[in-house]
A and B are shown apart, each in its own frame.
Chain A
Amino acid sequence: MTDIHKREVDTLSGVETTGHEWDGLKELNNPLPKWWLYIFYASIVWAIGYWVAYPSWPLVSSYTAGLLGNSQRDDAMAALEAGRAARAEIGTKLIDASLTDITGTPALLDFAMANGRAAFGDNCAACHGSGGTGFVGFPNLQDDSWIWGGTLDDIHTTLKYGIRSGHPDTRSGEMPAYGRDGLLEKDQITQVANFVASRNGLETEAGVDLAAGETIYQENCAACHGEDLKGQREVGAPNLLATNFLFGKSLAAIKAQINNPRAGVMPAWEGRLDPATVKSLAVYVHSFGGGE
């Protein structure tokens, strides 16, 4: 080791060495620039101030809250509240306006569409799909087949009270279980199912008496689905000549439905969503284009 008090200057670079030497290589003493060090020291001071001012140390069941009482959760809640307040004014306008007023006023329509799009994604897309095209058992909101009606008011009512939701004003329709409850014989179900299928241009089973099927239809089904098969919205009886069938458009699906009908449930959104959002949803779903 070189004597610590003796400064050794490297001849090549003119820089003082640290006195460390490895295999003949000497380490030059090039200290960090002063400005760099001062920023480093300032950072340390800053960090100490930060510990004191802001939440920093985790404790066993809590944490040090800091002198400023800062909380990101509170900030987020305040931001949410501010957002709500900002929307409150136009939200009130939305509640006051009739559904047709909303579609006729560009400013309200823009807001309702944006609000409806967001609410649809959060609340409706899980069943009806993000594009509103539905799945088997969950109605397609894009086409023009409506079981309970597709006007703005119809959609609004469905949204508000739901379907078989348990709400006192809910829409509710019940189809008898012709097979399970023994109301029709198995042959009769085959005949009536083939009749409905034939009217929809689906392939029918060979040797089935379609005329008998029609008779069975008129005696048992026409009361709700209509003599012309076009359904009846007052009782939620679907149009049996629609492009899409809720539970599948095939002979097997028709048979299954007559035999042991399924009935979907849609929740009532009144009380779950605020009235402005329900209205926005009605406008948004109507704008899909299948609305009447």
Chain B
Amino acid sequence: MRVEPDAAVGGNEPEEWFASAKKIYPMATHGTFRRIKWAILFVTLGIYYFLPFIRWDRGPNAPDQAVLIDLEGRRAYFFFIEIWPQEVYYLTGLLIVAALTLFLMNAVAGRIWCGYLCPQTVWTDLFLWVESKIEGDRRDRIALDNAPMSLSKLCKRVAKHTSWLMIAWWTGGAWVLYFSDAPTLVYELATFQAPWAAYLWIGILTTTTYLLAGFMREQVCIYMCPWPRIQAALTDEKALNVTYRWDRGEPRGPLKRNKELADQGLPAGDCIDCAQCFHVCPTGVDIRNGLQLDCIQCGLCIDACDNVMTKVGKPTGLIGYDTDENIQRRLDGKDPIYEIVRPRTVIYAVLIALVGAIMLYALLSRDFSGISAVHDRNPIFVVQNDGSIRNGYTVRLMNKRNFERSFLVNIEGLPTGTRIEAIGIDHYFEGRPYVVVGPDQTREIRVLVYSPTGAQMPSSTPITFRLTDTVMGEVTTTKGFFKAP
């Protein structure tokens, strides 16, 4: 079938049909929210870059780095907490708390995570600052981009990309310090003796930081990040969002004209249409179009607008953290209300407290020893010449203290006369193997259990392995089975 050209074209305008991303040149601004953003940038990046250098004395057998993920030794250290691979479920708890905190932030003030705390925002902010220091503010940068290549342009470009790469490289460098003793690794890196994985990860993080914070910027937030989509489904009309108070601002117009309109008693808003709010926006949003997916709620447009309002002698707060509900209330002649405490926020806060309490309890009440027992699969049991039945187990004992400890291994649930034997263990106390486990180590032993001669054993008997610390009396147990014909 032949499609007629007219039928195929339709009525769409080209710009609605397709538009490639436009480059955004955020202008520098100053004010309350800018100061908050600088403070958060200093604190978060300060922690990230310098935390690995903090020392923490854990005694002779453990590393003395406060925060260390020791992949080789299969341990993670966070100040006074030491996590073994078996305890990775704490990570689950942390992730749940992180998710709930994000929801709580969202219920209180929309996407403040995006605007202030998200690494993408923080590094982009830093990169933008570097860019504006070298190439100048918005107007200079636009001019520079449009200018033909010259020595001065080349110098600025080289300086900018070198600075960006240095920051990116430092970001990757700090990352690897969390996985090895920081001062040692710094020395090894400098003398090219570090493991190849360290260089690889520095390379990966240098590249991603350089690309994401230098080039992709707001496109990460708009096209790559799932949070704006999820966030939109989780928010409500009572959440504080960066809001253009159009009830006060509209109809917008030049200052002089609007003054004249007001003098004649015609409707005139406070917005003077100066475009400062979207010139400072790092994602290129015109906040006057209302809340939208691209807005990361950083509040820089509030600062820009407040500065302009102060200059033209009008009250600040034409753009501010407000709720959809309040605009409607003001139009209806009611006072605005701010309900931070409401069922949604209370539930999130209670859940965070609950998960936190559970994690804290688990952490404080956790055992410093452990036992696991794996029953032999082949053979499941062996009948001895005297008629007794033997089961074999691979038993692993854990000592999570940083000193040597001795344990007694006992088995409960079998008839009296049951005999326990452990390969390689010479010492027994009342028939129970006496096992020494080194500091912060595990030890695997093979345990053989003999049923008493003549005992009629069911095909499967549930048993309990009990590990008792001979000095401190700490007891840990694990379940198992004794199999018979």
Binding site for B on A (CB under 8 A): 11-14, 23-25, 103-104, 106, 109-110, 113, 129-133, 140, 142-145, 239, 241-243, 287-290
Of B14, B18, B421, which contacts A289 at CB under 8 A? B421
Provide the residues of chain B in CB contact with A243, threshold 8 Å. 383-385, 387
Is the Cβ of B383 less than 8 Å from the Cβ of A24? no
- Determine the residue in chain B with the shortest Cβ distance to A289: B448
Is the Cβ of A12 less than 8 Å from the Cβ of B17? yes
Of A12, A131, A143, which contacts B14 at CB under 8 A? A12
Provide the residues of chain A in CB contact with B14, threshold 8 Å. 11-14
For residue B339, CB closer than 8 A to chain A, the reply is no
Is the Cβ of B3 less than 8 Å from the Cβ of A23? yes
Is the Cβ of A104 less than 8 Å from the Cβ of B392? no
Is the Cβ of A13 less than 8 Å from the Cβ of B383? no
- Interface flags, B402-436, vs A, CB<8A=1, else 0: 00000000000000000001011010000000000
- Interface flags, B1-44, vs A, CB<8A=1, else 0: 01111001100101001100000000000000000000000000
Is the Cβ of B378 less than 8 Å from the Cβ of A23? no
Provide the residues of chain A in CB contact with B448, threshold 8 Å. 289
Given contacts A12-B17, A106-B443, contact A143 B424 (CB under 8 A): no
Is the Cβ of A143 less than 8 Å from the Cβ of B378? no
Interface size on B, residues (CB 8 A): 29
For residue B473, CB closer than 8 A to chain A, the reply is no
Given contacts A23-B3, A103-B423, contact A145 B12 (CB under 8 A): no
For residue B379, CB closer than 8 A to chain A, the reply is yes
Given contacts A106-B424, A243-B383, contact A24 B3 (CB under 8 A): yes
Provide the residues of chain A in CB contact with B385, threshold 8 Å. 143-145, 239, 241-243
Provide the residues of chain B in CB contact with A132, threshold 8 Å. 379
For residue B217, CB closer than 8 A to chain A, the reply is no
Of B378, B421, B446, which contacts A130 at CB under 8 A? B378
Can you show 28 pairs from A to B with CB atoms below 8 A apart? A11-B9, A12-B14, A12-B17, A14-B14, A24-B2, A25-B8, A103-B423, A103-B424, A104-B424, A109-B423, A109-B424, A110-B444, A113-B446, A129-B378, A131-B376, A131-B378, A131-B379, A132-B379, A133-B382, A143-B382, A143-B384, A241-B385, A243-B385, A289-B382, A289-B392, A289-B421, A289-B446, A290-B382
Binding site for A on B (CB under 8 A): 2-5, 8-9, 12, 14, 17-18, 376-379, 382-385, 387, 390, 392, 421, 423-424, 426, 443-444, 446, 448
Given contacts A23-B3, A133-B378, contact A287 B446 (CB under 8 A): yes
Q: How far is the CB of A76 from chain B (nearest CB, A)?
A: 21
A140 vs B382: C-alpha distance in the bound complex, in angstroms?
10
Provide the residues of chain B in CB contact with A140, threshold 8 Å. 382
Is the Cβ of B379 less than 8 Å from the Cβ of A133? yes
A106 vs B435: C-alpha distance in the bound complex, in angstroms?
11
A14 vs B20: C-alpha distance in the bound complex, in angstroms?
11
- Determine the residue in chain B with the shortest Cβ distance to A244: B383
- Determine the residue in chain A with the shortest Cβ distance to B384: A144
- Determine the residue in chain A with the shortest Cβ distance to B437: A106
Of A11, A12, A287, which contacts B423 at CB under 8 A? A287
Is the Cβ of B384 less than 8 Å from the Cβ of A12? no
Provide the residues of chain A in CB contact with B383, threshold 8 Å. 143, 243
A149 vs B421: C-alpha distance in the bound complex, in angstroms?
20
Q: How far is the CB of B321 from chain A (nearest CB, A)?
A: 40
Is the Cβ of B17 less than 8 Å from the Cβ of A142? no
Provide the residues of chain A in CB contact with B378, threshold 8 Å. 129-131, 133
A219 vs B378: C-alpha distance in the bound complex, in angstroms?
41
Q: How far is the CB of A186 from chain B (nearest CB, A)?
A: 31
Q: How far is the CB of A147 from chain B (nearest CB, A)?
A: 13
Is the Cβ of B424 less than 8 Å from the Cβ of A142? no
Provide the residues of chain A in CB contact with B377, threshold 8 Å. 131
Q: How far is the CB of A145 from chain B (nearest CB, A)?
A: 6
Provide the residues of chain B in CB contact with A289, threshold 8 Å. 382, 390, 392, 421, 423, 446, 448
A131 vs B391: C-alpha distance in the bound complex, in angstroms?
13
Q: How far is the CB of B428 from chain A (nearest CB, A)?
A: 14
- Determine the residue in chain B with the shortest Cβ distance to A10: B14
